[in-house]
A and B are shown apart, each in its own frame.
Chain A
């Protein structure tokens, strides 16, 4: 029998619906593979014991012609999405024993569209990290080179999709946490417009930047999956009350009416010449397939990193205050008094990176510093947004590298600022709330590299279409 795990999502949906194979068969294939490879890769924090049960239910629905859009498709969830009665750790010791009493909207939507949950994937603690090295549950290895990191923070999901341990996976992206690992693992990763996917039940890191998204093996697969998690949710005030188009139809349309913006200053300043060459090669591929490109200026974009590292820690410092050992999560033993309970529960429950960011955020919001840091950062954030708004008057999308380098070796980056610079090309889309996708664009020394398309507000269809076009003309996503 052929390897069902190597099929695209589209082929799997077709095969299940035509009863060529069953959900139990495809689920079993993935489970076997997980059992064999997860020991090494460490993609999953917990596995769903009921996966086969869910698959059976899907099969009976298919048999009765009651299949939902993705009935019987085995997937994985980043362990940041709450699932009722299942452990949701967020990669932290703090939530090691936290069993959620409710489910996130993203999980519910995917459950309702028929997917089978294989398990919950490893991640940087509270989504803070760019290499999956801050997880309490250990490093995730890059399936392409086990000495290297898969990227982060959604490293488990990226590695699981790349190693074909699930059909597709959910992730979250606050400063690049979907796109950077997608690039490092050689797969497709999309972060939609801020507000497109409900944040209900998605554990908060930086609320104004966090956005759920998808890892998949191609732009078309990502389009199908994204369509199923998007939409207005009255439980999330920042959710957008906008109709969700068929991303699949938009992605697969033959419309070539694109003008892709190339931000000159950014490209000129790429330090790694191979990354720069890969970028220009990618531009050429687009142009050869009939896509227009145009050089643009994105003013103030160079301030993205410092702006992000004020706003994200500030928001996280408040978002993580609820982990105080009082109601749930890690609680220290024999607290002497209230302050001791707080201090030790948090000191023991949080890892170094999380503590660092809480401290930075607390500092930025403190009396006397608030205006100089937080208010100023918000002002610059607005300027960056404006730059994009102006750019979209001339172009339909903006193209950038996803990362400044290929995946690096585990423990090789010790300087925190160097680590923070990992997100230099991905952060601007989060600050502006724009949809952005990373797709494979070739390899350097056998290690994958990605390019990124940033779309206009609510125009995920455009960048999915562009990515699909690119993938029709290349084979990087199948390598």
Chain B
């Protein structure tokens, strides 16, 4: 990182709330349906239609507020944000300006083992717009209003973030909070979580903020980091070349890894916010807030501590296991059924995560179910399946429909070889590789690995490596 320039970043995160129906209409919110099939009269903005608030969205927003220890407003007022765009049917978006449901709060993020507190300015409810499809029909733009009216929680941070890495950590933290709270699926690939970044730079030690640019359309954790870093470098380059930064909105192009100007400050919209007269202010009582607070599910930070205490696993393991709600849930199910929770943590974070990452899958789409995992770990604990055997089964079952037991049988891993059998195999191998044996005795100790490999191959991984090591070193010296 540049030693001279400090980057100052604030994020606006749009989270799609996982309600059954839209925020102001009763149309369903399902993703990936036929175009315009999820748009009701209200979503189409027909003359004479009126919005009716889906109260579940208020509860979800309060849940988030409680989770980040924020002030909750005593009333929710919706406002019209006026601008023209074809995918905005009414010509205004119903959003919030004054009295956002969630006021000032904070969350902690950790980067390189250093924890920092990031301020949350506010979080408010609003409706999503539809989608414009510009390349579907020659000479026309097409509008899909399925998404129009989907509830969004817009979470605005203070300009407290100091690096792209920190921004990603913050985003991941938001992701874990909303998924643990079960208020959103947080799926960035489906647009359930979207992010705009306000980026500026200043000399270290400066108090004044530099001119900022707003980066739009960053839709994955990876792109957030890339886009912000790119923008920081662009700004440093400009300033070092004596050019000032223009306050503007820039669009991130993931394909080219560049940002380009969308509109300058002079062309910024005057949104002419005013309270929506179609929606009466909603009162939020202290009792309601208290009720929601008491029913909050366990949050990642609490769970990390509990896992360390209950399962005696390391802080590192506990954090990783709590990186998502599904993973933490998977671990709990498995750890409660096996005798060594540590072993469960090791396998879940090790081989299972590796194969998930390799296939770019989430734990909820894992082909190894928690029951499979319990099965495997129990077998390891009993000594009826070796580590390498289990590893093999994990890999095999990924592309097989057969049950774990069938696979073990098929691979001949069901009978772990006894000492006598292993000795027999070792004797045979030494006999067949007398040359190597001689070289080993003469001091070429590297050959030990060769013999281990031969034994493992012969036993198809069904021998305990520790036992093989012991027996081999004894036998080879004879």
Considering the complex, give the chain A residue whose CB is closest to the CB of B26: A235
Please tell me if the beta carbons of B47 and A88 are within 8 angstroms of each other in the complex. yes
Q: Could you tell me the distance between the alpha carbons of A102 and B40 in the complex, rounded to whole angstroms?
A: 11
Contact indicator per residue, chain A 357-375, by CB within 8 Å of chain B (1) or not (0):
0000010011100100010
Q: Per-position contact with A for B42-84: 1 when CB-CB < 8 Å, else 0?
A: 0011111111110000000000000000000000000010101
A202 in contact with B48 given A207-B278, A324-B84 (CB within 8 Å): yes
A64 on interface, CB distance cutoff 8 Å: no
Residue of A nearest to B145 (CB): A327
Judged by a CB distance under 8 angstroms, whether B277 is at the interface is yes
A88 to B48, CA, bound (A): 10
Q: Which among B44, B82, B273, B274 has the greatest number of chain A C-beta atoms within 10 A?
A: B274
Most buried by A among B53, B91, B92: B91
Asked if B277 contacts A327 (CB within 8 A), the reply is no
Q: Is the CB of B90 within 8 A of A321?
A: yes
Would B48 and A321 count as touching, CB distance under 8 A?
Answer: no
**Residues 202-254 of A contacting B (Cβ, < 8 Å):** 202-204, 206-208, 234-238
Residues of A within 8 A of B274 (CB): 314-315, 318, 365, 370, 374
A321: B residues at CB distance < 8 A: 82, 84, 90-92
The contact of A238 among B44, B82, B89, B278, by CB within 8 Å, is B278
Give the complex CA separation of A203 and B50 in angstroms. 10
Assuming A101-B46, A102-B41, A367-B270, is B52 touching A322 (CB within 8 A)?
no
Which A residues are CB-close (under 8 A) to B388? none
User: Is A238 in contact with B280, judged by CB distance below 8 angstroms?
Assistant: yes
Query: Which of A202, A207, A327 lies at the interface centre, i.e. has the most chain B CB atoms within 10 A of its CB?
Result: A327
A234 CA to B278 CA in the complex, in Å?
12
What does the 1/0 interface line of B149-168 toward A look like (CB < 8 Å)?
Answer: 00000000000000000000
Q: Does B86 contact A (CB under 8 A)?
A: yes
> Which of these, B47, B53, B80, B273, contacts A82 with CB under 8 Å?
B47
Say yes or no: A318 contacts B91, CB within 8 Å. Answer: yes
Residues of A within 8 A of B52 (CB): 234-237
The number of residues on chain A lying at the interface, defined by a beta carbon within 8 Å of a beta carbon of chain B, is: 44
* Pairwise interchain contact B48-A104, C-beta atoms closer than 8 A: yes
Give the distance to chain A from B421, nearest Cβ to Cβ, in Å: 76
Kindly provide the distance from the CB of B136 to the nearest chain A CB, expressed in whole angstroms: 16
1/0 per residue A284-324: CB within 8 Å of B?
Answer: 00000000000000000000000000000011011011111
Task: Let me know if B49 and A200 touch, CB within 8 A.
Answer: yes
| Chain B, residue nearest A126 (CB) | B47
* Nearest residue, chain A, Cβ from B270: A367
Nearest-CB distance from B327 to chain A (Å)?
A: 41
Interface residues of A in 324-372 (CB under 8 A from B): 324, 326-328, 338, 342, 362, 365-367, 370
Are B90 and A322 touching (Cβ within 8 A)? yes
A457: min CB distance to chain B, Å: 15
The 8 A CB mask of A369-406 against B (1 = contact, 0 = none) is 01000100000000000000000000000000000000
From A95, A235, A342, contact of B50 by CB (8 A): A235
**Bound complex: CA A200 to CA B47 (Å):** 10
Distance in angstroms between the alpha carbons of A451 and B330 in the assembled complex:
75
A residues near B273, Cβ cutoff 8 Å: 365, 370
- Determine how close the nearest CB of chain B comes to the CB of A374; give it in whole angstroms: 6
Indicate if the CB atoms of B48 and A327 lie closer than 8 Å: no
CA distance A82 to B48 in the complex (A): 7
A-side contacts of B50, CB under 8 Å: 199-200, 235-238
A202 to B44, CA, bound (A): 16
Residues from chain A with a CB closer than 8 A to the CB of B270 are 366-367
User: Is A366 in contact with B49, judged by CB distance below 8 angstroms?
Assistant: no
A322, B91: Cβ atoms closer than 8 Å: yes
Q: Which residues of A contact B423 (CB under 8 A)?
A: none
Shortest Cβ gap from B96 to chain A (Å): 15
| Residues on the A chain within 8 Å of B254, using CB | none
Bound-state Cα–Cα, A365 to B277, Å: 14
Query: Is A91 close to B, CB under 8 A?
Result: no
Residue B476 at the chain A interface, CB threshold 8 Å: no
B107 is an interface residue with CB less than 8 A from chain A? no
A88-B47, A95-B47, A326-B143 known; A365-B280 Cβ under 8 A: no
Across-interface contacts of A235 in B (CB, < 8 A): 50, 52
Given A237-B280, A326-B143, A327-B89, verify A200-B84 contact (CB < 8 Å).
no
Chain B nearest CB: distance from A312 CB in Å? 11
Contact partner of A200 (CB less than 8 A), chosen from B48, B82, B86, B277, is: B48
Asked whether B277 lies within 8 Å of A315 as measured between CB atoms, the reply is yes
- Rounded to whole angstroms, the CA-CA distance of A234 and B92 in the bound complex is 23
Of the residues B47, B90, B91, contact of A203 by C-beta under 8 Å: B47
Contact of A370 among B45, B272, B279 (CB under 8 A): B272
Q: In the assembled complex, which residues on chain A have CB atoms less than 8 Å from the CB atom of B44?
A: 327
Q: Is A90 an interface residue (CB 8 A)?
A: yes
Is A476 positioned at the interface, with any CB of B under 8 Å from its CB?
no
Tell whether A408 is near chain B: CB-to-CB under 8 Å: no
Q: A207-B277, A237-B280, A318-B274 are in contact. Are A324 and B51 (CB under 8 A)?
A: no
Q: Which residues of B sit under 8 angstroms from A365, Cβ to Cβ?
A: 82, 272-274
| Closest chain B CB from A88 CB (angstroms) | 7
Alpha-carbon separation in the docked complex, A15 to B44 (Å): 45
- Residues of A with Cβ closer than 8 Å to B? 81-82, 88, 90, 95, 98, 100-102, 104, 199-204, 206-208, 234-238, 314-315, 317-318, 320-324, 326-328, 338, 342, 362, 365-367, 370, 374
Shortest Cβ-Cβ A-B pairs, 9 listed: A321-B91, A208-B277, A365-B272, A207-B277, A201-B48, A322-B45, A203-B47, A203-B48, A82-B48
Task: Enumerate 16 A-B pairs (CB-CB under 8 Å) in ascending A order.
Answer: A82-B46, A82-B48, A102-B46, A200-B48, A203-B47, A204-B48, A204-B278, A237-B52, A318-B90, A318-B91, A321-B92, A322-B47, A322-B91, A324-B91, A326-B89, A328-B46
19 new A-B contacts, CB < 8 A, other than A199-B48, A208-B277, A237-B278, are: A82-B47, A102-B41, A200-B49, A206-B277, A235-B52, A236-B50, A238-B277, A238-B278, A238-B280, A314-B274, A317-B82, A318-B272, A321-B90, A321-B91, A322-B47, A327-B143, A342-B84, A366-B272, A370-B274
